[in-house]
């Protein structure tokens, strides 16, 4: 019995070896996730825009990618875990060939040497032209004179208003508030409707706190910092006091919840319980769905002007190429970046302002009324200072504002805490 088997075994063994080798080879390719012309792409888009970027990637792989022999493998990571996972992947030399981050993270990663800058030649070879991009968004991808990012979208603060509640309150549903005073008047009129209706929502917790604060601050003064970015500006205390006094007046007037309803704000707005909500354009898909499913009648408008000049906080999503990506993969990644730019209208539909003039000026984009309204505000948009420590400053500001909104500090105390808390973080 054994002999028979052993006589036949060489050919079987050979076949087995071949099969084993093949299986190992296939599994090795599978484990690395990378084959020739395949690039990994990690994004933080996990909401409705996650489905959109997934559809775009599939479209690219089936069309332009196929022609160029490039396949994009998408990995969506929830945004609150994104930077942790990306940094760990970078540290273990397993970073993707392409990723997207919020623009305030560009200086952080670039300063760590975690990114390789784009060269003018490779951008030109891919057909990516700086002149096609909104300068502020392009600059947000720049650190220390090197271009690390190519913007895919811009998301400024804006307001959503409930047209039905406006009508019920005797307000013109086609005239959203454009100033702080109008915002207060309209919010008071809507709050007077009673029945649990809130005039205004703005964030009392989370990142929305500092984004709103900066928006109003920049309407009075261009920068929070002094010229050499080592301290707050000389007039910081006076300006911050004005801003916090303005914001507190809404709480004191009883037109906005004094308790944080941040997580439920979208639902309350969709249920006609909030008249005006200060949010950003990325929330648009939620209200579009509510309009379709619940009959929500809403409008969108630019961030109201409280100060001397209009200004609004904005950030961009930037494509980045982590350090160590080889030349072929870089070229493949830029092929995809260019293609996404050409499909900017599809991407803008997920609640984004396009950073590209060629997209903004297209007929298809101009047929998106909400995006067009918010796009007008990019002229007055301010991006966070391109500082390594800016996210850390944001965390300080957020904490002080959360404490202030909870009624635990006065305006003066909160401003003092900001003035004392920002410089050490800024110069860390």
Partner 1 sequence: MSHLRARLFPFLLVGPYLLVFAIFLGYPIVRAIYMSLFDWGIFGPNAFVGLGNYTALMSDSRFWDSFFTTGRFALIFVPLIMVVSTLLAVLLHRKLPGIAIFRTAFFFPLVVNVAVASIAFKWLFEPQAGTINQILRLLHLPDQSWLTEPGWALVAIALITLWINVGFMVIILLAGLENIPDDLYEAANLDGSNAIQDFFFITLPLLKPILLIVMILSLVQAFQVFGEVLIMTGGGPFGSTEVLTMLLYEEGFRNFAIGKAAAIGVVITIIIAALSLVQFRVFRQR
Site for partner 1 in 87-106 (CB under 8 A): 87-88, 90-91
240 in Cβ contact with 415 (< 8 Å): yes
Phi then psi for residue 307, to 5 deg, are: -95, -150
**Distance (Å, whole) CA 257 – CA 273:** 11
> From residue 407, how far is each of 186, 226, 259, 376, 413 by CA, in Å?
24, 29, 10, 35, 11
Q: How many whole angstroms separate alpha carbon 265 and alpha carbon 270? A: 8
* Of the residues 9, 27, 63, 112, which one makes contact with partner 1 according to CB under 8 A: 112
Nearer to partner 1, 288 or 416 (CB): 416
For tokens 């990690």, name the residue.
42
Binding mask 200-219 for partner 1 (x = CB under 8 A): -----x--------------
Binding status of residue 229 toward partner 1 by CB under 8 A: no
- Candidates 83-91, 127-135, 267-275, 370-378: pick the segment binding partner 1 (CB under 8 A): 83-91
C-beta of residue 209 within 8 angstroms of C-beta of residue 215: no
Rg for the chain (alpha carbons), in Å?
25
User: Least distance in Å: CB of 73 to partner 1?
Assistant: 23
Least distance to partner 1, CB of residue 195, Å: 18
Whichever of 127 and 262 has its CB closer to partner 1, that residue is: 262
Q: Do the beta carbons of residue 223 and residue 235 sit within 8 Å?
A: no
User: Of these, 34, 391, 411, 416, which contacts partner 1 (CB under 8 A)?
Assistant: 391
CA–CA separation, 319 and 123 (whole Å): 13
State which of positions 316-375 bind partner 1 (CB under 8 A).
323
Dihedral (CA of 76, 82, 85, 91) sign: positive
In the shown chain, the binding pattern of residues 251 to 290 toward partner 1, with x for contact by CB under 8 A and - for none, equals --------xx---x--------------------------
Contact residue for partner 1 among 10, 113, 145, 369 (CB under 8 A):
113
What is the contact surface with partner 1 in residues (CB under 8 A)? 83-84, 87-88, 90-91, 108, 112-114, 205, 259-260, 264, 323, 391-392, 399, 402-403, 406, 408, 424
């Amino acid at each position: 019995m054994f002999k028979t088997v052993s006589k036949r075994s060489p050919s079987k063994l050979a076949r087995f070896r071949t099969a084993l080798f093949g299986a190992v080879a296939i599994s090795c390719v599978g484990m690395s996730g990378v084959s020739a012309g395949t690039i990994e792409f990690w994004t933080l888009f996990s909401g409705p825009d996650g489905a959109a970027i997934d559809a775009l990637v599939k479209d690219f792989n089936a069309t332009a990618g196929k022609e160029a022999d490039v396949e994009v493998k998408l990995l969506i990571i929830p945004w609150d875990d994104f930077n942790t996972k990306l940094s760990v992947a970078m540290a273990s030399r397993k970073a993707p060939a392409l990723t997207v981050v919020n623009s305030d993270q560009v200086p952080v990663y670039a300063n760590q040497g975690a990114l390789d800058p784009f060269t003018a030649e490779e951008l030109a070879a891919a057909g990516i032209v700086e002149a096609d991009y909104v300068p502020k968004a392009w600059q947000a991808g720049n650190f220390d004179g090197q271009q690390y990012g190519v913007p895919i979208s811009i998301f400024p603060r804006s307001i959503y208003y409930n047209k039905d509640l406006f009508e019920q309150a005797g307000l013109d549903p086609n005239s959203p508030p454009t100033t702080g005073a109008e915002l207060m008047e309209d919010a008071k009129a809507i709050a007077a409707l009673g029945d649990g209706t809130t005039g205004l929502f703005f964030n009392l917790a989370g990142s929305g706190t500092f984004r709103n604060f900066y928006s109003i601050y920049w309407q009075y003064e261009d920068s929070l910092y002094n010229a050499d970015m080592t301290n707050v500006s000389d007039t910081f205390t006076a300006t911050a006091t004005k801003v916090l006094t303005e914001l507190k007046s809404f709480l004191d007037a009883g037109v906005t919840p004094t308790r944080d309803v941040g997580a439920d704000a979208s639902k309350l707005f969709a249920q006609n319980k909030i008249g005006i909500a200060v949010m950003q354009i990325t929330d648009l898909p939620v209200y579009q769905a509510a309009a379709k499913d619940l009959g929500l009648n809403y409008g969108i408008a630019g961030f109201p002007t409280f100060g001397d000049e209009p200004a609004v906080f904005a950030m961009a999503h930037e494509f980045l190429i982590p350090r160590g990506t080889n030349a072929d993969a870089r070229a493949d990644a830029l092929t995809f970046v260019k293609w996404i730019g050409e499909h900017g209208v599809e991407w803008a539909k997920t609640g984004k302002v396009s950073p590209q003039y060629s997209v903004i000026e297209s007929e298809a984009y101009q047929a998106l009324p909400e995006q067009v309204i918010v796009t007008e505000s990019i002229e007055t948009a301010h991006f966070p200072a391109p500082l390594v420590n800016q996210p850390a400053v944001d965390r300080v500001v957020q904490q002080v504002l959360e404490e202030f909104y909870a009624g635990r500090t006065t305006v003066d105390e909160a401003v003092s805490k900001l003035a004392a808390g920002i410089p050490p973080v800024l110069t860390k």
